[in-house]
Structure 1
Amino acid sequence: MTATTAEDSREREDKAGRAARRPGSAVRNPNRKGRSPIFDAPTPHGLVLRYTALVVVLVISIGPMLWELSTSLKSKAEDVYTQNIQLLPHHPTLGNYGEVQNTIPVWHFALNSLTVAVINVTGNVIGATLAGYVLARLKFKGRKLLLAVFVSTLILPAEVTVISKFQMITSMGLGDSILGVCLPDMIAMVNVLLMRNAFLALPKEVEEAAIIDGANAVQRLRHVGLPAVKGVLSVISIFAFIGAWDDFLWPLLVLQSPNKLTLTVGLSYLNGQWSHDPRTIAAGTMMALLPILALFLLLQRYFFRGVAEGAIKG
């Protein structure tokens, strides 16, 4: 009697397993835990909740940018302080963008910011790649201790190390210079860890085959490692560019000469004693946003590939 019951139970489990593997089967896998019965349900109610959540996130993230764009296109005759929110300008104009150029040397500031961003991106791509590969693939004494030191630096907020970084830059004679702005962030620890994880995800058999063929560490990095981490490199490039382009506190502390100011610091002059127009400030903000959008559109394919690789490998 017991053997018959056990056989019947196994037969039922086998039938349930075959039905679950059959395409279009309505039998659900009992092992799929943590799934929401509302958002994951293919019902009209579930679809409404999904799109409602997407619309809320879209409004929160894109709403301020659209409002800045609308304000930058409004003419002097329109009231931007009214309580009745009007997203579309009644008399759109590009005159506010010309006013930004007449108030501050915006293109010179943008060139300074571009110089800082390019140096930071180059330093992070090269430095983080080399450091990540060393920590992931090369064996040496103290590797785990060095990795622990790198991870411990992420615990401290950036504001805690501002004074020490400023003292180091001034003692090196790099105060009031573009290089002094770039140097502390040329190799970010979080980028090193990203590259380390990317290199760790590579199959060991491929690198072992390259070692058998006589390839040294540099050749293995160039021909085996780099082709497999292009997506992560694009993610690092975008984040490094945005971080350098949008940084305000550190350039404000280091730079004193007006002709060396970056764009974010230079835009603060739009809200000063001689200029205080929210339309002009919004126009300057949109001009600072354009390079970031251009870079993202240029590298979006590699960016999403890198995010997907990180999600799968992590």
Structure 2
Amino acid sequence: MNELKARDTGLIALEINSIKEQTQKIFLLSSIEIGKRLVEAKQLVPHGEWGKWLEDSVDYSQRTANNLMKIYEEYGQDPLSLKGEINESQAITKLNYTQAVALLSIPSEEREDFINKHDLETMSTRELQKAIKEKKELENKLKLSEEKVEREKEEKEKLLKQFKKLEEQAGKDEEKINNLKQQLRTAESKGDEREIEQLTSSLQSAEMSLEDSKRRIETLEKQLKEKPIEVSAIVEQIPEEIQKELDALRKQVSLKNSDNIAKFKFYFESLVKGFDEVLVTLNDIEDHESSEKLKNAVRGLLYKMQEEL
């Protein structure tokens, strides 16, 4: 009687939770061991008879067997001590079987970090599945954002190449026109009507080509202004929750080049900010001729930067 009186409800609850925890570990460990043996058996069962063997021999569906084998492959390669127990320091100790199956959809290199960031002991299966779904949605949004940036970058680079090609063609046309004018003046001084006619025709063709190049250059300039690669703006559009998840995932990446990366980030952000200020200043210049000269200087710098990359 005295022993019974000394046991209060708090102690009983502690014992029950301890038994529950041990049962959870034993069940997960058993699942890993079963999965290990299923992997072994599958290599021995003749092709096409695996489903029948599972049903007749161990009363498992192929889905259950696949989950057990996957649990062994993902959690059972090195989770056990020499005594056959799960190491207490490992994230797997927080899981029950259902959670272990749900977390199979997360890449192994990200799984432990995900487990440590979530209070799995208090989460229901539905809550865990929701958290996993949200993680995937965030990663998908980030991927789409990065793909959008890359598409816009490629489109901008394509336009810049076309722009450069047209400017080169315009330069050649201007040079050709100057040469033809000189030749025409010489032909006129000689009174060579046939040569004058040929040179006049060639001059008209060159001038038409120059005008066409100028029109296309003007069109491309408008396109480049309408579709700028706003690197900083695009980055700012990434939702806060996506950025947090991205930062968490990137903690696993080696930081041995962190100093150089930090320098690059500083200089890159300065470059983007400086370029934005240059564009604003160019738009404020009212003198068209001066503005065009300065724009050409900027284009020349951009081309040189592209060649260096």
TM-score normalised by length of structure 1: 0.19
Higher helix share: 2
Compare CA radii of gyration and give the structure with the larger one.
Answer: 2
